[in-house]
Chains A and B, each alone.
Chain A
C-alpha cells in the first residue's frame, strides 16, 4: 500500500499533534502515526482500572502556550482547565503550610511562618514576572545557528541583544543570576523561612535530576513560572476528563483541518533516499510517503532509532549521544475507595488543590542525595492531585483518582532486583511516605499503577524516562537543544524535521516546539 501525503508526523504526542494541526490548518495533507493505541504521548489519559480515568503521566496543565490555545481553538475541541488555586504542604511537625492563589489568604498564611517573607512575596512575584516576560520572547525565537549563522540568525541575535539591553540592568542582572544559580540560593535571597523556600523550590527540580541546592535549578523555577504569565494561576490546573483530553483537543483541531490520525501504527524507520526523507515504514511493513517527515520523538529516537547513522554527520551523532536524559521522576496513580484524610488539613476544600510533600529544603535535598547515585528516594518529594474532587468524570461516585508525581527516581534501580521488584519497592516507598501524612491512605487503595523511569521509557518512549525529552540544563537549552547547529527543527537529512520537547523551548505541555517547528516547515508563517 502506498499513499502520498504532504507531511507525516511520527508520534502523536502533544507536540506532534500541534505540529500536525498547524500544518493541516495551512492546507497540508497530514498523517499522524502514533505507536500506542491512545494519543497524547506523555499527555495521556487511560482507564487503567474500570471506572477510573488515570492521567497516566502528565497531570497538570500550566505551560500550554496561549497562542496555541487561541490559534487552534482548543476550547472548541474540549480544552477545559479546572483552575488549581491552592497548594497544601503538610509539615513534619504536624503543622501545614498552604500556598494560596488569593493574595490576601497567601499573605496571612505566609505571616504565620515569617512576617518578613510575607512582606517579600509581592516583590518576589514582581521579579519573577519581570524575568518571565524577559524570557518570553526568547521562547518564540527559532534558535540561531552559531556555527553557520544565516542572515536571519544574525537578525535574531541582534534582536536578542536589543531585547536584553531593553530589560534594564536590574532585570538583566537578576536574569543572569537565575540562569546559573540553585533554586534554594535564589529563593534564600528573598525568603528566610525554610518551609517557604522548600515549597517554592520544588518547581526548580520537577523533572530534573538535580536538588534544590544544585546550580541550574533556579532556571527550571523560572521555566515553570512561564505558565503563570497569562492570567496567573488560572493557567495552572487539571484538564476536565484527564490530561489526555488536552491531546484530544489538539487532535480534534487537527482533524477538523483535515489531518488523518492513526493510532497503533508504530513507525519502525524513516525511509531516506539519497540524503532525503521520503517516507516512513511501519513495524508491520506498511509504508507511507510524504514530502516532509516530522519526528515528535526525543532526540535519541529521532536521530539514533528512526534513521541510520550513515545518513548523519559524525559530530551530530556524537552530540546526540552526549545529550542528557536522566529521568528523575516516577509516577504512582491510585484508585481510591474514598478521600484520604490529612490530619493537618483544616479546610477540606484544599483537597481540590495540589498536595505537596516537600516539608523542608533538607527533606528535598536528602531525597535527591538518596537517589542521585541510583535507586530512588526512601522518603521522596511528591506532588499529589486528586482530580476527581473537582471532576466527577474521573472516578465512580464517592471514589477518587489520585495522581502522585514522585521525585526522585533514578533510571537505574538495579540494586532493588528485577523490574517487578524495583517497581514494587519504589511504589511502597511512595505509599509508605504518603501514609505518614495521610494515615488512612493504605486502606483506601483499590488499585495502583506504578511507573518507574524505565516504565515511562517503555510505555511512552521517552529515553531514560525523562519527561522533558532531555534535561532542561543550560548546556541543553536554546541553540544547544538538542545540538548546536541543529536547534532550528531541521536535521541533516533533507525534509526530515524535529518537533518534540527535545527542541527549543523544551519540555512540559507547552506545544511550543510543535508550533515553532510547523512555522519553520511552512516557511516562517503559520
Chain B
C-alpha cells in the first residue's frame, strides 16, 4: 500500500491547483517543492529590505474564474482590479489609455483616429466572441488527433455555446485569424500606430516572436481568453503580491488535506515495470504513491526526473525539439517616489499608473525590438511592460516608496557575444534610458535595482531558457501538440505518471488550468 495516492513534484501554482482538486476529491496528496517557498514563478520575495516583490509573474495573473470559485480562493486572497488595462505613453509626449470600459477607451482612441474609435467596439465584440471559443478549448483535454473518441466529442460539446455566440458566419474568421500575425489582424481594424501598439504588444509579451510573425494573433487571443477583463490582457494586482495568491492556493490545498513540504528536492521518479510508483529525494529519502504528477517543465520531467530508456526515440526527439526560448528580462526597481510621465504632467497620474504600463508605441517598434534577437542581441530600443503594484497595494513597500517591476523585451537566452552575467546591467541601463524618455525623473528616484536575465530565471526558478511558459506558446506547441504531439492528455507513456505544468495544454500564464485539467484526468483514471 503506497503512502500516498498522489505525489506532486513542484509547488508552482499549477501543482498547487492540482493538489487542491485532488485533495478536495479525497485523495491523499503530497506536494514536494525544491525551493523554501511555494509558488514557483508566482512568488513574492523581499529582494530589497521592506519591499515585497512579485519577482517573475506579476499583475493578478490570469487565474481561471472556475478554479477561483471551485477552490473557494476568495476566502484566502483578495485581488485589486484596475480600471486601466494599459497605459501607453507615446514618444511625442501624448498618451493612450485602454480602460476596461469600451466607450471610455473609444473616446481616448478618437484623439488618435476617429475611424479607429468607431472600429474599436466592433473589434472588441469580435475578439471577445472568438476568445470565448479559445477559452473553451483551454478547459478541454486535447483529443489525440487525428483520432477523436466519443468522449472527446462529448466534452467538446462545451464549445457549442461559444461557437453559437460567435455565429456561423464568423467561424471562418476564427480559422483565418488563429494562424495570423497579430499585426495583420490589427491593421485590418486600426490605422493609428498607438492603437495597434497598445493592443498588439500583449500578443508577444510571453513569446519570442514579434507581432508581425504568424501565430501571434493566437497568443493575443489566448491572453484575451484568460485575462478576466474581457479584454486583451489582465489588469490588477493581488493584495500582498503573487506570493499571496499561491499562498492562498497552498492554504486551500492544505485545507482539503494535502500535505505540502518545501525545501525537498526530488531527484528522480521511481519507475517499476513501466509504472511510476513514487519519488526519490536528493536526500535519498523515498516516498511511494499510486500516481506521480510533475509540475516541472517537460524537458526536466522526461530528461532529468525520468530515465530516457523508458521512451522511444521519436518521443525523445519530440521532447528534444520543444522550443523554450526565453525572450525577456525581469527588472525590479525600488523607487523613492512615483515616476513622472511627461504625458501625465499636471494631472493626477495615479489612476493611469495603477494598471499595466506599456512602452510599445507601434507594432514596428516592437517588431524591430524583436529583430535583433535573431542574431543573439538584446534590443537597443526595448518593448517594456511595467507595473507599479504599490499604487494599488501600498503595503508592498515602505511608506511613500514604490516598486516598479519591468518585463523587458527582447532579451534572448543566448547572446551572440559575451554572456548575460556580464551584460545584464548594461541591458538594464538601456531599459532605464528608454523609460527616461517617457518619465524623465526615473533615474533620480531609483534607490535599488534587481535584474533577472533569462539564465537567472532558469537557474533560480527552474524555467528552462528563462521561458515562463515551460515552452513557447506557439501554434506548433498548441492544443494536441503541447507539450509534444501524442502526449497532450496530461498522461505520459509511463502509467501513473502525469504532467500538470504550463508545459501541458493550455500552457503558461497563472491560470491554474493545466493543474485543473490534469487533476480531472487523474481522477478519471483512478476511479
Interface residues of chain A, those whose CB is within 8 Å of chain B, are 146-147, 161, 164-165, 167, 169-170, 172-173, 176-177, 180-181, 185, 189, 210-211, 213-216, 315, 322, 324, 362, 365-366, 369, 372-373, 473-475, 479-480, 484-485
Q: Count contacts between A and B, CB distance < 8 Å.
A: 90
Interface centre among B173, B177, B375, B476 (most CB of A within 10 A): B476
Interface centre among A165, A173, A373 (most CB of B within 10 A): A173
Tell me if B346 is interfacial: C-beta within 8 Å of chain A.
no
Nearest-CB residue, chain A, relative to B484: A173
Q: Are B168 and A215 in contact (CB under 8 A)?
A: no
B contacts with A: majority SS: helix
Nearest-CB residue, chain B, relative to A171: B146
Least CB distance, B515 to chain A, in whole angstroms: 25
Given A181-B476, A480-B176, is A474 in contact with B485 using a C-beta cutoff of 8 Å? no
Least CB distance, A11 to chain B, in whole angstroms: 26
Q: Are B184 and A324 in contact (CB under 8 A)?
A: yes
| Binary A-proximity of B255-270 (CB < 8 A = 1, otherwise 0) | 0000000000000000
Q: Are B176 and A475 in contact (CB under 8 A)?
A: yes
Given A173-B481, A180-B215, A373-B364, is A365 in contact with B374 using a C-beta cutoff of 8 Å? yes
- Name B260-319 residues within 8 Å CB distance of A: 314, 317
Given A169-B146, A214-B213, A474-B179, is A480 in contact with B172 using a C-beta cutoff of 8 Å? yes
Cβ contacts under 8 Å, A172 to chain B: 145-146
Q: Are B321 and A189 in contact (CB under 8 A)?
A: yes
Q: Are A173 and B374 in contact (CB under 8 A)?
A: no
Q: Are A147 and B168 in contact (CB under 8 A)?
A: yes
Tell me if B162 is interfacial: C-beta within 8 Å of chain A.
no
Tell me if B371 is interfacial: C-beta within 8 Å of chain A.
yes
- Name B4-30 residues within 8 Å CB distance of A: none
Q: Which of B171, B212, B323 contacts A185 (CB 8 A)?
A: B323
Q: Which of B147, B321, B475, B486 contacts A165 (CB 8 A)?
A: B147
| A180, B475: Cα distance in complex, Å | 6
Q: Are A485 and B172 in contact (CB under 8 A)?
A: yes
Q: Which of A169, A170, A177, A365 contacts B476 (CB 8 A)?
A: A177
Q: Are A215 and B172 in contact (CB under 8 A)?
A: no
Cβ contacts under 8 Å, B179 to chain A: 180, 216, 473-475
Nearest-CB residue, chain A, relative to B320: A189
Q: Are B214 and A473 in contact (CB under 8 A)?
A: yes
Q: Are A173 and B176 in contact (CB under 8 A)?
A: no
Interface residues of chain B, those whose CB is within 8 Å of chain A, are 144-147, 168-169, 171-173, 175-177, 179-180, 184, 188, 209, 212-215, 314, 317, 321, 323, 364, 368, 371, 374-375, 474-476, 480-481, 485-486
Least CB distance, B417 to chain A, in whole angstroms: 14
Least CB distance, B429 to chain A, in whole angstroms: 25
Q: Which of B169, B176, B188, B481 contacts A176 (CB 8 A)?
A: B481
Given A180-B474, A180-B475, A475-B180, is A169 in contact with B172 using a C-beta cutoff of 8 Å? no
Q: List 29 A-B contacts (CB under 8 A).
A: A146-B171, A146-B175, A164-B146, A165-B147, A169-B144, A172-B145, A173-B485, A176-B476, A176-B481, A180-B179, A180-B474, A180-B476, A185-B323, A185-B476, A210-B214, A214-B214, A215-B213, A215-B214, A215-B475, A215-B476, A216-B215, A365-B375, A366-B375, A373-B368, A473-B214, A474-B179, A475-B184, A475-B214, A484-B173
Cβ contacts under 8 Å, A146 to chain B: 171-172, 175
Q: Are B213 and A177 in contact (CB under 8 A)?
A: no
Least CB distance, B415 to chain A, in whole angstroms: 15
Least CB distance, A313 to chain B, in whole angstroms: 11
| A181, B177: Cα distance in complex, Å | 16
Given A373-B364, A480-B172, A480-B175, is A177 in contact with B146 using a C-beta cutoff of 8 Å? no
